[in-house]
Structure 1
Amino acid sequence: MTNDGDPTDASIPTRIEGRFKAIVICWFLGLGNLVAWNSMLTISDYYYQVFPTYHPSRVLTLVYQPFSFGTMILLAYYEAKINTRMRILFGYTLFSLCTLALLLVDIGTSGKGGIANYIGICVLVGGFGLADAFTQGGIVGDLSFMEPIFLQSFFGGLAASGALTSGLRLVTKWAFDKADDGLRKGVILFLSISTLFEFVCVFLYAYVFGRIPIVKHFRRKAASEGSKTVASDLAAAGIHTSYDDGTVVDRLSNMTLIRQNVDLALDLWLIYALTLSIIPGFLFENTGHHQLGSWYSVVLMAHFNLWDLIGRYVPLGGCLRLESRKGLMMACLSRLLLVPCFYFTARYGEQGWMIVLVSFLGLTNGYLTVCALAVGPKGYKAPEQNALGNLLVVFLIAGIFSGVVLDWLWLINNGSF
């Protein structure tokens, strides 16, 4: 039965209607959060044809990150005062408009190169970074005071966006492989589908997610614990609370939360600094020429995204979930050994060994991400869980930013500077 009683009601959440529906929608929201950016990564083979001298995979990734990282820091600092509903809706709407604009730019310029077109694409990529900060931090904070399976489903959707875009890219590349201007036609179809996914996410969050009984239950509970960020979501669902009375919520400060969870913050930084130092620039520019030809980098990205998705669902088996904080730190540090492995495999190994390495990189990336984020919010009140979720995303994005910068170091050995 639906539980719309007192927000302090102790009913077991799994007995409230809508749990499965909420899990599915969290997955779709995760998909929409990264489908636009993963689309950019996946069509890098097209941009290397249009802009062959501009290092598209590295430059576009570098453009994306300052907007995402800088905006996320500001949003995390003012998290307790921000309307979370409007924040998330703004992010998904911006994703939708930028993806649509990317499609229109390519159609309007007939796929021509040139510095002006390249700058226009860079501006839209900056918009993706801005949107990512609004959506990812907002949703992770929002889901941190709900069931852990919701957060895991959201991160499963993030990984699924990579697997879906890679699979879709392989299909469109194959379908238009022999056609005139086939690569561009495949990209246009690809971006059209990505734009549709973004608009679906706007609809799901605006009109469906907040009205699910179990989501209302957790948000009312959060409001009873002093969280003011859920007020607009509850109002949109037809529930008005009396908790937003202008008083300051008695909660741990951001610095205290960071000090208590500095190991998890470093874990997330290490995970993504390593992954993004290899994905995507190294795969597109430093792996040499192999039998797969132009398909090689696309296949490598597909393997990474598929195993990243699998890794995020491995913790569903309770005995396979890594909950030891020391164990998480050791696992994250041990991944640094992958750097020399990729270096020597690129120079001396066959393409099969590179596929194995990329698959292992994706598997550990997804698995450790979910384990680290699932451990963090335990033992805190709702406002603190929301704040901690935002702070951990800051370190996750900082790791991505660091990895993007470190990725350029591969060019020193390549002689491309």
Structure 2
Amino acid sequence: MFICMVLYNLADKLPIMKYYDEAKIQAVAAEEDNGPLTGSVWRSTVWDTVGTIKWYGFGMVIIYVVTLAIFPGYITEDVHSELLKDWYPILLITCFNVFDLVGKSLTAVYLLENAKIAIGSCIARLLFFPLFLGCLHGPKFFRTEIPVTILTCILGLTNGYLTSVLMILAPKTVKLQHAETAGIVSVLFLVVGLAAGSIIAWFWVI
């Protein structure tokens, strides 16, 4: 936490951050020249921003509904291994977190800029439900360690990558001076997804 606080305070000193801060100040000043930012104007701007990024937000909700509905509850409670025993859920949790980190880092190498494909990929993650269900009640091979581990790795990879992609793309769809608002709204969508996914996770227990 201390390291995060230090890095957060150092971020403003980076040249790229200074560039965007100056650009934002200029954009805000230009907008204020058109009239004062009253309460009604501000609310209208916020709702316009929500409307602009709503599909990105929808994708964010779907990502975390799927992820939290499966991980960690299903992985720690429902799958078992006679070979790995108590180490099995630990291995799966490690795989998820490692691949989640890899997915988040992949945007530095390749950023998917097609919003339709990104959001479609989020919806496609709903296929994890029948796939993981198959690991419980499907053919014998599906109930072994290999399919579950592979699916867990893919779950983590897509979770990290698509989250980063949507978080990067959403603020770019609005004017520069409203990008920060778009980022905040995106986080709110993410929180909704976390809450919904946590509730749905109980169905694995039921």
CA distance in 1, matches of 2:14, 2:166: 27
| Residue 248 (structure 1) shift | 2.1
Mapped contact 1:311–1:365 kept (Cα < 8 A): yes
| Residue 325 (structure 1) shift | 2.4
CA distance in 2, matches of 1:280, 1:209: 33
CA distance in 1, matches of 2:135, 2:7: 44
Residue deviations 1:231-270 (CA, integer Å, cap 9, x gap): xxxxxxxxxxxx9xxx527666222112122211110100
Give 3-state SS (helix, strand or coil) of 1:329's partner: helix
* Count of residue correspondences: 194
Mapped contact 1:254–1:387 kept (Cα < 8 A): yes
Mapped contact 1:275–1:403 kept (Cα < 8 A): yes
Residue matched to 1:326: 116
With over 3 angstroms needed to count, the CA separation of the structure-2 counterparts of 1:316 and 1:391, relative to structure 1, is: same
CA distance in 2, matches of 1:383, 1:398: 25
Give 3-state SS (helix, strand or coil) of 1:386's partner: helix
Residue matched to 1:212: 14
Counterpart check, 1:270 vs 2:58: no
Residue matched to 1:338: 128
Spell out the pairing of 1:363-378 with structure 2 (5 A cutoff).
Answer: 363-378=157-172
CA distance in 1, matches of 2:15, 2:166: 28
| Residue 357 (structure 1) shift | 0.6
Which shows bigger deviation, 214-223 or 327-336? 214-223
Computed over aligned residues only, the root mean square deviation of the Cα atoms, in angstroms, reads 2.2
Residue matched to 1:172: none
Residue deviations 1:6-49 (CA, integer Å, cap 9, x gap): xxxxxxxxxxxxxxxxxxxxxxxxxxxxxxxxxxxxxxxxxxxx
With over 3 angstroms needed to count, the CA separation of the structure-2 counterparts of 1:205 and 1:370, relative to structure 1, is: closer
Mapped contact 1:300–1:358 kept (Cα < 8 A): yes
Mapped contact 1:309–1:366 kept (Cα < 8 A): yes
Residue matched to 2:24: 222
Mapped contact 1:346–1:354 kept (Cα < 8 A): no
Q: Which runs of 5+ in 2 are unaligned?
A: none
Residue matched to 1:43: none
Q: Which runs of 5+ in 1 are unaligned?
A: 1-197, 228-242, 413-417
Between the two proteins, what is the percent identity of the paired residues? Answer: 28
| Residue 283 (structure 1) shift | 1.2
Counterpart check, 1:316 vs 2:95: no
Spell out the pairing of 1:13-412 with structure 2 (5 A cutoff).
Answer: 198-206=1-9, 208-226=10-28, 247-248=36-37, 253-318=45-110, 321-347=111-137, 348=140, 349-412=143-206
| Residue 410 (structure 1) shift | 0.4
* Greater helix share, structure number: 2
CA distance in 1, matches of 2:170, 2:8: 25
Bigger radius of gyration among the two: 1
Equivalent position amino acid for 1:410 in 2: W
Mapped contact 1:290–1:351 kept (Cα < 8 A): no
Mapped contact 2:65–2:196 kept (Cα < 8 A): yes
CA distance in 2, matches of 1:212, 1:329: 32
Mapped contact 1:303–1:359 kept (Cα < 8 A): yes
Mapped contact 2:174–2:182 kept (Cα < 8 A): no
Mapped contact 1:265–1:396 kept (Cα < 8 A): yes
| Residue 379 (structure 1) shift | 4.7
| Residue 353 (structure 1) shift | 1.3
| Residue 307 (structure 1) shift | 1.3
Give 3-state SS (helix, strand or coil) of 1:376's partner: helix
CA distance in 2, matches of 1:316, 1:344: 34
Residue matched to 1:27: none
With over 3 angstroms needed to count, the CA separation of the structure-2 counterparts of 1:282 and 1:387, relative to structure 1, is: same
